[in-house]
Structure 1
Amino acid sequence: MQLFQLEHIGKRRLAMLREILQARYPEIDRQALAVECEILSDWSDGYHHDAMYAFLRAATQLRQSAIPDITLQIGDRAQLTDSGLLGYAVLTAPTIEHAAKLTSHALNSSQYLLRTKQSIGGDLVRTVFSVVHDAHPYREALLEMSVLAVWRCIQAILPTGRAAVPSHVTFTYPAPSCADMYRELFGCPVLFNQAHNVLAYPDAWSQQAIPSGNSEMIRICSAELKQLLGEDYRGHGIAARVKRALVEHPNICRFSLTGTAQQLGLTTRSLRRSLAEADCSFRQICLQVRMEMATQYLTATNMPLKAIAYQLGYQHSNNFYRAYQAYYARSPSEVRAAMRRPVAG
């Protein structure tokens, strides 16, 4: 599974569209819309397993008739938790720049319908968005939703949160009827009929550390991760408690005995003794958690191997490669290649 796969995002967007229609627009015949746009009756997918395209067909139709700002409403609701494990990686990245690179790489190496490119100049970071050829009929709906969604996710990892505003935003299409809402939601100048689709913000933000106060979002993302990691992360034993702490509070624990003991309300001596009594060590637990998390990153995201190593606290990627090879008797590259290899039918 890849976190930015078309169907993964499409199903979430369909569910969000259904919720908005039910709550705000009861006069719209959802069943008729579903039939016309080839959406299953429960709004969970498209008839041909093309949830994202089904969503875009419905959103584009609504934009052109009853709800001009529908994709802005959906973009405004975007959260990092929508992206599961990748959202967890972004929330626990060391800097804004590192998080932006993770997200951009995930978009560009997946089946999602947007591509991004970043450039730095004049003290600004410019993220340029483009739409793949197959999605061109829906480009306006896709761009206005996605650019705003990306901005909402950037705000989630900035120390100032929603108080932050971009330097400017530009779009290549003509100003829509809800242009004033663009400016209200972004909080900055928004220009239309421009050469590129651009979200620009100060380069000074790039090296800022991501605040550790996003505990609720990390908790939501880590719940999915713990589910993937299995039974060892449940229970009341000291080993399970340490494992949960490392996953749920990575910015505090940082795979260090001192930070983890602090999070658990113990002294380092007490934690070390308790682990010894349970016939394990902090070093062994850290290695297990790192290796199991690495496997999830390798198989469930498009994160580069160097980014995974850095995410798990390895200052040198070669140390990560050697540790993974020694632990599993397979290299990280072999594990990723095996996941992508077609299954013989």
Structure 2
Amino acid sequence: MGRRRLAALRDILHSRYPQIDSRQIAMDCGIKSDWSQATSENRSLQAALRALTQLRDGPVPDIALQLGDQAQITDSGLLGYAVLTAPTVLQAARITSHALNQSNYLLRNKIVMSGEYARTVFTVAGTARSQSEQILEMSMIAVWRCIQAIIPSGRAVTPSYVTFNFPAPPYKDRFTELFACPVEFNSSHSVLAMPKSLVHVTIPSGNAELIRTFSSELKQLLGDGYRGNSITARVRRALIENPQSCAYSLEGTAKQLNIAPRSLRRYLSQNGHSFRQVCLEVRMQLAQQYLHSSNMPLKAIAYQLGYKHASNFNRAFCDYFGAPPETLRRRRQETNANSANFPK
């Protein structure tokens, strides 16, 4: 997350503000001169926030808003893939909310369904209170841009209202311009509200172009087994790129590929595979990536992979890998913790 923010901030400075000495800002904030990451003693996200603060207090007051406005769903890596392939906006929002709340990111949120609105309430972790305005400005517009990216109406849809729990800044008109809805300041909470009907909108399936541009986790997952014109590779790609349409079923996948189910079964058999085997491999590879690269709860992972019950997913995972999913996640977390604590 931090590296992506740094790269986006660098691009904004180079394209819009060439007169600003971005190298000096990088030096002041503990960022490498090419803005690829923070220097060894600093975390990239913290370095990005320091740069935002320096710019916000100096030459570019609305820099956090500009950075949030540049957000892409692909910025979130495998979590973005989960959002894009979720069945509804509400499920996508719940996945994102849980991931934020379980991560080391400085923002927390919760979804409140009340009256005619679905309200997402944002709070900043206590350790980042001094930078809360920058974090909220950047994150709330970024969340909205990602919502717009996954629904059919796109930028045409607007929030019902937005509130911030800090005083109106001099550039308050920019908020109304970017959100295209009423924006209030000095409220008790920072809230992004939308019509309740919007969260039940079905996310269109099969946005293969976006999926193919996802982060390295998904690209590595696709690998050689997902390339070429063999029937097995085509089935794997269909399951990855159109999970809702395929529904992890022979009939759904055959329809997606415009092949009769019996013919698909026969073609796979001629290549030494069964649909059940290929489908299981794709599900387990995705499950492994989710466990390694996201904070999604096991129940949400099971749901994403087409399992109606988490117990069925747990059983399939254990049979495939020889250990339950929570064990794999715990081992990965322990490995990461040990790596972080290893003296350099």
Q: TM-score, normalised by structure 2?
A: 0.93
Q: How far apart, CA to CA, are the structure 2 residues paired with 1:304 and 1:59?
A: 32
Instruction: Answer yes or no: is the 8 Å Cα contact 1:226–1:233 preserved in 2.
Output: no
Match of 1:320 among 313, 316, 323: 313
- Distance apart, 1:162 and its partner CA: 0.9
* Farther off after superposition, 111-120 or 41-50: 41-50
Instruction: Answer yes or no: is the 8 Å Cα contact 1:229–1:292 preserved in 2.
Output: no
Aligned length: 337
Match of 1:220 among 194, 200, 213: 213
Matches within 5 A, 1:23-42: 23-42=15-34
Residue 132 of structure 1: aligned partner: 125
Residue 6 of structure 2: aligned partner: 14
Q: How far apart, CA to CA, are the structure 2 residues paired with 1:327 and 1:51?
A: 36
Residue 93 of structure 1: aligned partner: 86
* Farther off after superposition, 231-240 or 268-277: 231-240
Instruction: Answer yes or no: is the 8 Å Cα contact 1:127–1:198 preserved in 2.
Output: yes
Residue 279 of structure 1: aligned partner: 272
Q: How far apart, CA to CA, are the structure 2 residues paired with 1:215 and 1:161?
A: 17
Relative contact order, higher structure (CA 8 A, sep 6+): 1
Does the residue aligned with 1:46 lie in a helix, a strand or coil? coil
Matches within 5 A, 1:305-316: 305-316=298-309
Match of 1:270 among 263, 269, 278: 263
Matches within 5 A, 1:145-294: 145-212=138-205, 214-221=207-214, 224-294=217-287
Does the residue aligned with 1:255 lie in a helix, a strand or coil? coil
Q: How far apart, CA to CA, are the structure 2 residues paired with 1:223 and 1:61?
A: 31
Give per-residue Cα distances to partners, 1:104-155, cap 9 Å, x unaligned: 0000000001011221212211111111122122111111000000111111
- Distance apart, 1:260 and its partner CA: 1.9
Residue 3 of structure 1: aligned partner: none
Does 1:61 pair with 2:57? no
- Distance apart, 1:213 and its partner CA: 5.9
Q: How far apart, CA to CA, are the structure 1 residues paired with 2:283 and 2:329?
A: 16
Residue 141 of structure 1: aligned partner: 134
- RMSD of Structure 2 on Structure 1 (CA): 1.7
* Farther off after superposition, 161-170 or 228-237: 228-237
- Distance apart, 1:53 and its partner CA: 1.3
Match of 2:72 among 53, 61, 79: 79
Percent identity over paired residues: 56
Q: How far apart, CA to CA, are the structure 2 residues paired with 1:215 and 1:243?
A: 13
Q: How far apart, CA to CA, are the structure 1 residues paired with 2:216 and 2:193?
A: 33
Read off the aligned partner of 1:307 and give its amino acid letter.
A
Give per-residue Cα distances to partners, 1:47-69, cap 9 Å, x unaligned: 22311111111111111221112
Q: TM-score, normalised by structure 1?
A: 0.93
Give per-residue Cα distances to partners, 1:204-244, cap 9 Å, x unaligned: 22222112263322232287414135332223322122112
Runs of 5+ consecutive residues of structure 1 not aligned to the other structure? 1-8
Does the residue aligned with 1:116 lie in a helix, a strand or coil? strand
Are the structure 2 counterparts of residues 45 and 226 from structure 1 closer, same or farther at C-alpha, using a change threshold of 3 Å? Answer: closer
Match of 1:43 among 21, 35, 42: 35
Q: How far apart, CA to CA, are the structure 2 residues paired with 1:289 and 1:215?
A: 16
Instruction: Answer yes or no: is the 8 Å Cα contact 1:290–1:312 preserved in 2.
Output: yes
* Farther off after superposition, 152-161 or 166-175: 152-161
* Farther off after superposition, 137-146 or 210-219: 210-219
Runs of 5+ consecutive residues of structure 2 not aligned to the other structure? none
Instruction: Answer yes or no: is the 8 Å Cα contact 2:206–2:241 preserved in 1.
Output: no
Q: How far apart, CA to CA, are the structure 2 residues paired with 1:263 and 1:213?
A: 10
